[in-house]
Structure 1
Amino acid sequence: MTEKDTNLADPALNDIRSKMEKAARIADRKPSDITLIAVSKTRSAEEIRPLIASGHRVFGENRVQEAAEKWPALKTEYPDIELHMIGQLQSNKAAEAVALFDSIHSLDRPSLVKALAKEMDQQDRHIPCYLQVNIGEEPQKGGCDISAVPELLGQARAAGLSVAGLMAVPPENSNPVPYFALLAKLAHDHGLAGLSMGMSGDFESAVKLGATHIRVGTALFGPRTTQAG
């Protein structure tokens, strides 16, 4: 918190936090163990500032280039902001991603393991990563196959990456609960504590099933023309 903060109440933010806390209590979890990532992709700095003024500090972006255009200035102004990369990441963007983000949720292939490990060593900046799993086995989506999790995890650890957990996006227009439960089981079986799962329409179910990070866009910022988080 800085002197620039006005601590103005944001109704949408308060509503999300209230629902998070209720879901956590139902699951006998501590609300403080769950991180709300405000998905700010396609949102301008002017749209983001009111949320910052309300005290929120954790944000997520899908594209390196877009994040590089708006976040360096905001992070200079608010050094305690935490920025998460939640979209697909090209290996040739690894250097920029390591420099800009505080966590990466889309580690899904060996080539990206190598690129990130190289850049983290060169920049001496080791940030946590989440393995993205194609939990619904959808050909159009990013993420490693479920069966590939053990091998990719081993490669990431051998390369010196800090793997905090697993991330997934369930298939659209389907009940997300079985997919959340499967991701939680995968994480447990591989000794991973982090679960990045749940978005605007299903984060309460995700919290009840163990999510440590939820990614909420539309419910915080309102509807937009592109696909929302």
Structure 2
Amino acid sequence: MKSNQMSPVLKSILEKDVKLTDRFVTFLLQFASFKSLKIHCKFLEVSCDGIAWLCTWIAFIWLLNSRDLYQMQVNMLIGLLLDILIVAVLKAFVRRRRPVAATDMLTIGPDKFSFPSGHASRAFYVLIFFTKLHSLPIIFWMPITAWAVSVVLSRLILKRHYILDVCAGALIGVIEALFIGLIWLSEDSAASIVGFLAEDKAFSEPN
């Protein structure tokens, strides 16, 4: 969004966001634990990449081919697709530029833009999905929460996003998970979708 098209209030908010982000990241990097996080930022970026999640999840459905898992798998897949769509539309509409030109990441189309953070939305969608919708054993809750929070912080440390970007992204991810909970597909519906997409009776009705 061009500065001459912004209202004075919005321009002021964005300017404060830039300054607050710089101060916050500088503050974080004073601590050894966050300095060590910086080493793993690139791994965290890849671990929450939208295309990587989508392709891996489709392969997960295909390779396991288990009717017992279809309900969880399909509902998660719907949320991942919804997340990619919502984030892409919002980025294309808002068109806020990233903090710095990223030379080590793919920046095509809406992904050139910063608001909202797709990594933050996806991380928090996955977090809520596996702790509230299809709960993993509680022993996994702390690791997945630590991963989601680390992904969000890594977006700031890598200078991919501002604080408003990641906060909005996290909120979107939570709302997406709540929406998936409202439209949660039954086991039969999920199996029907897998069978339809695969166009293979053997795939949709495993032994």
The reply to whether TM is greater than 0.5 is no
Is the helix fraction higher in 1 or 2? 2
Q: Which has the higher contact order (CA 8 A, sep 6+)?
A: 2
Q: Which has the larger radius of gyration?
A: 2
TM-score for the superposition, normalised by structure 1: 0.25
Normalising by structure 2, what TM-score?
0.28
More strand by share: 1
